[in-house]
Amino acid sequence: MVSVYELVSFMSNLLEFILTTHTIN
């Protein structure tokens, strides 16, 4: 079972990745 902290960390990393790719393009 995934902990809340890991889930939040994953979501924040994913969001940062999306924002970064959109900024570059």
pLDDT digits (tens, 9 = 90+) for 1-25: 789 999 999 999 999 999 999 887 6
Give pLDDT, residue 24. Answer: 74
Q: How many domains does the chain have?
A: 1
3-state SS, 1-25, equals: CCCHHHHHHHHHHHHHHHHHHHHHC
Give pLDDT, residue 14. Answer: 98
Give pLDDT, residue 19. Answer: 95
Give pLDDT, residue 5. Answer: 98
* pTM of the model as a whole: 0.59
Residues 2, 19: Cα–Cα separation, whole Å: 25
State whether the Cα torsion 10-12-16-22 is positive or negative.
Answer: positive
Instruction: Let me know the angle formed at the C-alpha of 13 by 17 and 4, rounded to the nearest 5 degrees.
Output: 155
Residues 25, 19: Cα–Cα separation, whole Å: 10
Range of the domain at 6: 1-25
Give pLDDT, residue 25. Answer: 65
